[in-house]
Amino acid sequence: MKFFSVDGGLYKFMSRLWDMIKLNFLWMLFSLPVFTIGAATVAAYSVTLKMVDESEGYVGRQFIKAFRDNWKQGIPLGLLGLLAAYVVYLDFELFNKVENNPILFLIAGIVSAFVFAMAFIYAFPLSARYENTLPETLRNSARIATRYFLRTLALAAVLAVEIFIGLFNTTTLFFAILIGPACLMLTVSGFAIYFFREIEREPGSVREKETEEDEEK
């Protein structure tokens, strides 16, 4: 029966599920020191971007190579992301804890959350795909999010649904722990790769890392 063969749907589904489990485990393992979470996230995106293209090879090997190649950019990017998340958290905490709940803190929290989301939502996949400075990577992420604003809102809605499902009950929480972060990154990659390709077709656009490396060889 073709459905159960190596070319069948069941085999492909189980193979992809196993790859997602491995990728999620590697991401969590390499993020354990906390300060390396950015490098681990860039490495994971380098794999999920290839998954979208169905061009990934050995997940573990690709992840470790990408981690090694991108840690200098990934670590500061991750630390900035953690700092941004803390700033947003602090704004909402001040709104909740300060007497009379000053509306200014709520507005600051909403604005800072929006600004940081625009700057970071595509920053990690950009860092995984292109060579660039950290400030320019953040600026490019904001430019892409602005240019494709409605699609970025759709992406945010999809991510929110995935998070809601993952936290729905203990069963879904188990799967969220097992493959949740990898699934979120795969979702972002599915949107991001479309934007990247469209921009790459424009005259004078930058090319991806792998293309340049292959041509040099």
pLDDT, tens digit (0-9, with 9 covering 90-100), for 48-74: 999 998 776 789 999 999 999 999 999
Q: Which of 11-20, 31-40, 125-134 has the lowest mean pLDDT?
A: 11-20
Cα radius of gyration rounded to whole Å, the chain: 19
Quote the tokens at residue 204: 């004078």
**% pLDDT > 90, the chain:** 70
Query: What's the pLDDT score for residue 66?
Result: 94
What's the mean pLDDT when you consider all of the chain?
88
As a whole number, mean pLDDT of residues 120-149 equals: 95
pTM of the model: 0.86
Provide the b/e sequence for 182-215 (b: ≥16 CB within 10 Å).
Answer: bbbbbbbbebbbebbeeeeeeeeeeebbeeeeee
